[in-house]
Amino acid sequence: MAEDFKEMPNNPLEHDKYAPKEFKVLGRRGITRIDGYKKAAGKAIYTRDIQLPGMLYAKFLTSPYPNARISKMDTSKAENLPGVRAVLRYDDPEVFGRRVVTTYGGCEDMLAGYAYFEGQQIGAVVAADTEQIAREALKLIDVEWDVRPFVLDPEGALRSGAPLARPEWADNNLNEVPPSPLSEVFRIGNVEAAFEQADKVIEFKAVRRYHGGADTELPCGIVRWEGDCLELWLHHQHPYEHKWTMHKYLGVPMNKIKVNAPYNGGMYGGWNWIAYSQIATGITAILAKRTARPVKWVFDRREDFVFGSADAMVTYFKVGANKDGTISSVKLKSFYENTGFWAETHLLENTRIPNIEAENVTARVNKGPTIALRCEQLPGCFVMAHVFNHVAAELDMDPTEVALKNDGAEGKDINYLNKFKRKHGFPLRDSLRECIEAGKKAIGWDKKWHPAGAKELPNGKMHGMGFIWSHEWDDNRGAGVAGVFIQQDGSANIVAFRTDIGVNAETTYCQVVAEELGMKFEDVFFRQQDDVYLPLMTPDGSCNLTTNSYVLRKAARKAKRRLLELATTEVHLIERNIAPAFPGMQPEDLEVKGSEIFVKSDPSKRKKIAEVVKDMDGSMNWGLEYAAIQCTTHAPVFAWAYHRQGRYGTEPGRHRLCRQAHFCEIEVDTETGKIEIKKIVNVNDVGKALSPEAVEGQQYGGTYMGIGRNLNEEYVWDPCSGVLLNGNLLEYKWATMLDIGEIETIIVETGMGYGPYGTVGIGEDVATITTYLLESAVFNAIGKWIDDGPITPDKVLKALGKA
């Protein structure tokens, strides 16, 4: 059979040689979003909107202390309050002794009788007729607390005699999950020898304060039992995983658990990665079983401030560089709060720096868990930004030139990468140079960039230019499965289960299937949010699009092959004969375009897909000849496919080839310390933009997230009580359109991604890397480093000696 119809296994090291030379649907602008009208019109149904007959509401008791244990509890008053249907306690037999492994180490009770941060949901859960009754019942629970000393500082937590932040977990505050790279030292080369030979050696300290964020839609979930079958409605990015966790926690067979995933409002990781999101559902299932009624658990805004970002860290830097701008060595020691990641990753993966040593230490403190929130790559971006910012400043060099001089991978330069590209069939393009040139032109870099502290504007403010760069994550990890139907009217449906979080993925999947089938976009549809046992990769960072596009491309190619077989194969029915649409032809003689099948050698011979399949009914008794093609569904054509790749898709010998570069122009008021953002330019090489508007949405929205974290976002705890003081959206500041000026988004398409059609994901990139864009711009404006994020006005004034 012709090459077009073969199964194309993905070689994770190879360029996508089977990508179409000309695209009809993918990359096209102006395609209407599948979810657009419902969301814009306010008609979309989210988990929090769902009401079931007889539904109860569950609320959790929260700890008023950062480190405490319940010594005595009396719930009788709460149980006797009218409208209260059940109170589940930490010492009840349904939960007592049940333990769950928490994310990145540690083990705790399913419903704990102890707290390790203020506001932790522990001790008791009330199920009542209304949320208000449940809240009132919580106030009636009498608790005697064993209050223990607490610690908030990661370095302080490691000092001799420091309080234990997790007495129930371990006998120390270190990450207690051996073996773990987070408690080891990473080394390549010889940093000490390189420091001896460097022209410049720089030492400094940088801090990223604990910050987090909140979901647009507050966390919630619904549980209902029907006999021994469990049904869930989830506000979660990983609905299918709840089958496994409910099986583990409750012993329910996975084939008796049905999951529904309505629209999810604004999810950015975080909540989806911590145990509470699973525990809350399990606890509610116990209450639903006890009361024989559906139960919805709901968090208010304060309760949503549970977790923080994984770059809550302090890092000590030592960097060696040469006068020409090449960086020879980097030594790091990083202290993380509660959860750490690998700080050296971006230096290793996309620079030529040959000597790197990084010690990553995770300390337990009495704050909520930290996890991948808007991306786990934050520590790598944090380190990358500070190393390159400081080297460029120390050498009085244009930072874009320093970036270009150090581009590479795993200590090897761009020439090595070019050899790699040639070997594996990639275009020989310089992604970073293309991104930098496009960004410099858009922001006017060559005319506007200047030495630090050298440009005072007529309005008395100081002018600053900032730059930052890294690679695109190019993450293809995970697995997915999906089916493609072609129905009797010639329309096609994607059948799969996944969560929608508003990033336009469903529309893009339809574009992939339409492109591969040769159909019009409007003839393909997908919006599956209830459990059909075909789970696609759920929204999971930057791998969602690439992983699922592999799945759907495979399924669509199979469906196309079967469609053309059907169009050329004599079909025998018991009651009547149906002649093929193209008698005497073979499948490879035909092509599909614009939802029409035609003969390649004579395009005037054509029929609409609907004409070809209208008399085909898969439920009828086909003869044996056709049975091998299709006989298992009412639809004339059905094909399914599965794709799986390693955890990060970074198999040995593979390098990330696509780059990104971001620029900003700011003004700093030296009297007030206020930073005014005049313009941001985002340049991302996404390989191939399957949906340009979706890419621009990630760039635009990611800029607000990243710059907002740089300007404002920080959790503030009372050092005396350990109480979180700004757990709301009044004191915890998100950036709005009033805080950031013009944003220009630029898409570069080199085709050097490992995903289908040479694409890479962009879901996490911009929100992650722009978190550290302002450091270089503020230094360029005032000539003083503020390596303590966020960069608030008081820190600017302090750096200027005015506070």
Provide mean pLDDT across the span 463-479: 90
Residue bearing the bigger pLDDT, 222 or 578: 222
* pLDDT score, position 172: 46
pLDDT of residue 175 exceeding 50, the answer is no
758 closest CA partner among 13, 16, 7: 16
**CA of 554: how far to CAs of 65, 494, 548, in Å?**
53, 12, 10
Provide mean pLDDT across the span 532-556: 89
**CA of 673: how far to CAs of 642, 770, 785, in Å?**
54, 20, 14
* pLDDT score, position 11: 60
> Are the beta carbons of 779 and 791 closer than 8 angstroms?
no
* pLDDT score, position 407: 98
Phi/psi-derived region of residue 411, left when phi > 0, alpha when psi is between -120 and 50, beta in every other case: left
Helix (H) or strand (E) holding 769: helix 765-769
Provide mean pLDDT across the span 157-161: 90
Provide mean pLDDT across the span 194-222: 93
**Mean pLDDT highest for which of 16-25, 175-184, 682-691?**
682-691
* pLDDT score, position 2: 37
Lowest mean pLDDT among 6-20, 92-106, 318-332: 6-20
CA–CA distance, 82 with 350 (Å, rounded to integer)? 62
Please state, rounded to an integer, the average pLDDT across all residues of the chain: 90
* pLDDT score, position 450: 97
List for the chain the helix, strand, coil content (%; round to 5).
30, 25, 45
Confidence of residue 7 (pLDDT cuts 50, 70, 90): very low
> Are the beta carbons of 286 and 94 closer than 8 angstroms?
yes
CA–CA distance, 15 with 409 (Å, rounded to integer)? 18
Domains contained in the chain, CATH given: 2-30+476-644 (3.30.365.10), 48-148+237-250+261-267+271-285 (3.90.1170.50), 413-474+655-799 (3.30.365.10)
Over residues 360-408, the pLDDT tens digits come to 998 999 999 888 888 888 999 999 999 999 999 999 999 999 999 999 9
Lowest mean pLDDT among 283-287, 569-573, 755-759: 569-573
> Are the beta carbons of 409 and 656 closer than 8 angstroms?
yes
Residue bearing the bigger pLDDT, 443 or 19: 443
Over residues 545-604, the pLDDT tens digits come to 888 999 999 999 999 999 999 899 866 544 446 788 999 999 999 999 999 999 999 999
CB atoms within 10 A of CB 15: 19
| Contacts of residue 246, Cβ cutoff 8 Å, sequence gap at least 6 | 230, 232, 252, 257, 281, 282, 285
What strand order describes the sheet that includes 524-525? 524-525, 492-495, 478-486, 637-645
> Are the beta carbons of 318 and 195 closer than 8 angstroms?
yes
| Token pair for 69 | 């244990």
Helix (H) or strand (E) holding 415: helix 414-423
* pLDDT score, position 641: 94
What strand order describes the sheet that includes 596-599? 590-593, 596-599, 602-608
What's the pTM value of the predicted model, to 2 decimals?
0.93
* pLDDT score, position 577: 64
CB atoms within 10 A of CB 738: 6
Over residues 290-301, the pLDDT tens digits come to 999 999 999 999
Lowest mean pLDDT among 1-5, 258-262, 266-270, 470-474: 1-5
> Are the beta carbons of 637 and 486 closer than 8 angstroms?
yes
| Contacts of residue 76, Cβ cutoff 8 Å, sequence gap at least 6 | none
Over residues 738-752, the pLDDT tens digits come to 899 999 999 999 999
* pLDDT score, position 578: 72
Provide mean pLDDT across the span 7-26: 72
pLDDT of residue 311 exceeding 50, the answer is yes
Helix spans in 480-616 (H): 505-517, 544-568, 609-613
